[in-house]
Structure formats: C-alpha cells, structure tokens
Chain A
Amino acid sequence: MTNTEKLTAFKTILYKEVMRFLRIWVQTLVPPAITMTLYFVIFGNLIGSQIGDLDGFKYIEYIIPGLIMMSVITNSYSNVVSTFFTAKMFGHIQEMIVSPVPNHIILLGYIGGGMARGLMVGLIVTLVSLFFSSLHIEHPLITIAIVTLTSMLFSIAGLINAIYAKSFDDITIIPTFVLTPLTYLGGVFYSINMLSDFWQSVSLANPVLYMVNGFRYGILGVSDINPYASFSLLVVFIIGLYSFAYYLLKKGVGIRS
C-alpha cells in the first residue's frame, strides 16, 4: 500500500469508530456528563464546601482536573475495549484482517477512535464543570499534551484487554477491578500530601496519579508530582504498550487461529 492508501485506510477506521460511538451517543456521551454533574454537585458543592481549600484552590476547583481526567481515562479505555472485542466476537474484525491494511494502521485507527471519544467526553465534562466553577488554564500546552497522551495510553490498554478477552466478562474485569481503584486512588479527590509517608510512597506506584497531577498542573499550576515525571511515564508506557499491542496483532493473538 502507498502512504496515501494507508492514510485512507486509517481515516476509514477512524471514521467508522467515531460514527459508531456517535450512533449510540445516548450510551456513550450522555452518561459521563450526568455522572460528572453528580460528582460536581455532591463532592464539589455539598461536601467540598465543608472541606476548605487545597493547595490554595477551592475543593471543587481542585477536583475538576481529576474528574475530567477520570472521564477521559474511562471512556478512552471502554471505547476501544468494547468496539474491538465486539468486532472479534461478531467477526467483523475479519474485514480488516483479510485486507492489506497494515497492523500499525489498524492499531492507530482504533486508538484514534478511543481518543476521539475520550477527548470528546473530556470536553463535555469540562463544559459541564463551567456551570460550577470558572476555569482558567495555567499551561494550555501541557494540559492538552497530558490529556492527549493519557487518552492514547488508555486506548492502547483497552485494545490489549480486548485482544485477550474471550467473553464479555473479560472486558469488564480490568475496568472494574483495576482501572476504577487506580483512578479513585490516583489523587482525583485529594492531594497525596494529605496521606501518611507510607501511603504517599504506595501512591507513587500508581501511574494514574502522575497523569491526574500532570493534568492538574496544566490547569491549576499545582501538582504533587513533577510534570516532567508525568510526561516521561506516559511516553514510556505508550511506547511499551503500543509495541506489545503491535506484537499481539501481528501474531494474531485472539484474532487468527
């Protein structure tokens, strides 16, 4: 395939993926908006007013970056894991497997679809947050870079989950038992400075903490983690997981007999 043909193939997969989640927008775009509105009302307004300031910001302002990031992570992951697994289950992944489209393009197409949904939901949640607090972005480029890389990372992770999944249970286990705890314990609702030394050290082993704090640094200019550490971790994880996903796809794990 020529580069132009590869670009066409990439655009096709991306278009197909975006159309898929837009077709079912009631399931994909509305629920996170409602859930995050509830978080803003309950944790931000009702409980937050009792907590006071964190790092010089009102509690609701402090948790907004984390909540946006949480919705981006969840939606990037769940989009790719569900669409790729469904394609495997119902066989339409074969449409791509029989064609000359390279594995890199398949990967990038699905990752692009996951990022499109993750970032779109992130934007919706950001717009919802404006009803509860004003938003001033301290470092726009860092903000955009961190959220984009995070969305990419969890899209790849979702793809790997889908490749290995053999049943619908398998695509809910990781989000429920791994992703959700990591996200909730990743500094979305608190600063790790509030924890004891031991739990601070434990928290540093949680990769989501770096992403949430990197994003918070971009928006508020405060962070528990050095933003360069956030970037480094994201880049290393993306390269590692992308390579692994490519290897799995090339080998045909879960796709070819």
Chain B
Amino acid sequence: MENALKITNLKKTYDNDFQALKGIDLEVKQGDFFALLGANGAGKSTTIGIICSLVNKTAGRVEVFGYDLDTQREEVQEHIGLVPQEFNFNIWEPVIEIVVNQAGYYGIDRKTATQRAEELLKHLDLWDKRNGKAQELSGGMKRRLMIARALIHKPKLLILDEPTAGVDIEIRRSMWDFLKNLNAAGTTIILTTHYLEEAESMCNNIAIINKGEVVESTSMKELLSRLQVETFVLDLKEPLDQVPNDCELSIQIRDPYTIEVELDKSRSLNYLFEILSKYHIRASSMRNKTNRLEELFVKLVKTDNDSLAEKDVSDLDTPAQSGETA
C-alpha cells in the first residue's frame, strides 16, 4: 500500500542551536489512523510543522503520497489538512467566512466552498453559529471549527495536533466518532494527543518521539501486547484497609472500597478470583484500567531518558513492587 507519509532522516536545528529533531524516520500507510506521541518538547509539533511547511527543515526528506516536499511542495500541501494545537483563525471573522476563505486558498470557488462549508458546519454542529464571530464560540466549538476548516478542501491526509485539548468529555467523544468515520471513509489521519486513551482507542499504528528521536514505531496492537501485566480496578463490597501480607497478587488500595490489582497475562481471571476469595475480598464490580498505553509510554520515554533504549520493553513490565503493593 502506498505511503501517505514517508519521513527520512529528518533533522531540525533551530537558530538557538536547539536540535529539535535528530534524524527521524517515519512511515504512515494510506488509510491509517496513526498516533504520534511524545512529551512536551519531544519534537512532535516540529515534525508536523515541517510536514505542513510551517517550519523549515535542516535536513532530511518528507514525502506525502509520493510527492517530495522540496520539489513538489504545492502537491504536498494540496493533500494535507492541518488542525493545529493553538487556535489560529481570525477571531473577528464570521465562522463561515473562516471556512470558506480557507477553501479559496486551495483554489475552490466560493459557491462550491459555501456548499461544502454548510455540510461540514452542519456535521460538526456549528451551522447555527455560522454568522457569529469566531471569538463568540466556546473552546469545543473552536476546535470543531478548526476541523471544519482543515477538511474544506477534502484532504487525503489530516493531521491533528492535540485536537481535543481542553475539550469536555462529551464533545471529545463526539469528535472521536467523527474522526473514526472520516478515517473509515478513507482519510489518513495522524493524531498527536496527551490523552493516551484517545490514541489507544482510535489509532492502529503509533510512533513515540522523545528528545527528537523516534524511540518506537509499531502497531498499537503489537505495542500493547508487550504489556506483561493487566491492571483491573475492583469495587469492593466490604472495605479493605490493608493488603494481606502474604498475598500473591500485586494490590493497590485506592480507597477502602476500591482496589487495583495487577494480573500477569499468563494467569487467568479464575486465578485472580481464587486469590481474592482466599483473603475474603469480595468484589461487586470489575473493569480494566484504561491506561495501558500510558504505562508503556512512560516506560519507553523513561527508558530512553535513562539511556536504556536498547533494553527490551518487556523486561520493564514486571509488576511494580512499591511500598504500596504487597
């Protein structure tokens, strides 16, 4: 399958000699929903900036659907839609003008642009606000406006730089649905986010950048499979004040009625309940803790920071033996 994006040995050194990217390689397949993760200052936004022509690269090559950024910039730009991290529209302009004008920059005539803007704004629940100034929109609406603006020219590659930052959970979930549908319809999506459950639930493949280097690039499934333990959250029928001394499980008490239990993947759930029964711990409900990717992310970044990049991730996934666990 053709690559939507191929980055080879991309480097960026800013004027103040800060080396933001130290030669990263990345491939995103057409139709993929790809997560690009990294801590603040890791190099995500610089990478996106270079792809979108907002930042000049120092070295390396960027290709979008086979078009070279250096020699075919126009073609590259025609295929990309960007939802940046910061609100960057003119807040004094009417909502519909922002979207229609953006289409104009891609050479789309005003009539067609207005029709498309109507479709998008209705879809993103902004149609009623179309004649109001953008400054009157709430934070969630502003985010959706940026998505509408990025999609007006029907890009084949949509890049979202933390699109749900500061958005309440209800709107975030509706945006997830919107993006999933968009991806299902064929748009390749690259997502950066600090909500790791967002990346976990939506993305098929993932790359993690740390200090200007790609420390991991694989499928989400493969990455998550490296977890050797799974963490369950249990609500208890009776309070538990202290973890039994000789308990075979790693248990953390969140509060007297809630515990977190780590279970080795080789063990079955029956084993978990056997042990809990043995200590007369009775659960009323149980759920998966949803921060699996977060655990891996922290470990990968930490590993790299500790100069242990070569170490196999699975080595690190033994249950934590902190003072809070038995």
Contact = CB atoms under 8 A, between A and B. Distances in A.
Interface of A: 1-2, 4-6, 8-9, 11-13, 15-16, 19, 23, 87, 90-92, 94-102, 252, 256-257
Given A91-B86, A94-B84, A257-B14, 7 more contacts: A12-B101, A92-B88, A95-B101, A98-B53, A100-B77, A256-B54, A256-B56
Contact of A5 (B53, B97, B106): B106
B222 interface: no
Nearest to B112: A8
A240 B107 CA distance: 29
A21 to B, nearest CB: 12
What are the 3 A-B residue pairs with the smallest beta carbon separation, nearest first? A5-B107, A12-B104, A91-B88
A95 B98 CA distance: 9
5 contacts: A9-B107, A12-B104, A95-B101, A95-B149, A97-B52
A8 B86 contact: no
Interface residues of B, number: 37
Contacts of B93: 16
A6 B107 CA distance: 6
Contacts of A102: 74
B23 interface: no
A192 B109 CA distance: 51
Given A256-B53, A257-B56, A95 B107 contact: no
Contacts of B91: 90
Nearest to B76: A100
Contacts of A99: 77, 102, 105-106, 153
Contacts of A5: 106-108
A256 B101 CA distance: 21
B264 to A, nearest CB: 47
A92 B56 contact: no
A91 B52 CA distance: 14
B42 to A, nearest CB: 16
Given A8-B107, A11-B104, A97 B90 contact: no
A230 B103 CA distance: 40
A100 B82 CA distance: 13
Nearest to A94: B88
B55 interface: yes
Interface string B61-97: 0000000000001110110101010111111110001
B102 A95 contact: yes
A15 B92 CA distance: 15
B92 A95 contact: no
Contact of B109 (A8, A95, A100): A8
Nearest to A12: B104
A101 B86 CA distance: 22
Contacts of A8: 104, 107-110
Contacts of A13: 104-105
A98 B161 CA distance: 14
A25 to B, nearest CB: 14
B22 to A, nearest CB: 17
Contact of A1 (B56, B74, B89): B74
B56 A9 contact: no
Nearest to B80: A98
A11 B111 CA distance: 13
Nearest to A255: B54
A167 B156 CA distance: 37
Contacts of A252: 56
B49 interface: yes
B111 to A, nearest CB: 11
Contacts of B73: 100
Contacts of B109: 8
Interface in B25-64: 46, 49, 52-56
Contacts of B90: 87, 90, 92
Contacts of B82: 94, 98
Contacts of B105: 9, 12-13, 95-96, 99-101
A95 B89 contact: yes
Contacts of A11: 104
A213 B92 CA distance: 39
Interface string B202-245: 00000000000000000000000000000000000000000000
A87 B101 CA distance: 14
Given A8-B109, A94-B84, A16 B54 contact: no
Contacts of B55: 256-257
Given A2-B107, A12-B105, A99-B102, A94 B54 contact: yes
Nearest to B89: A92
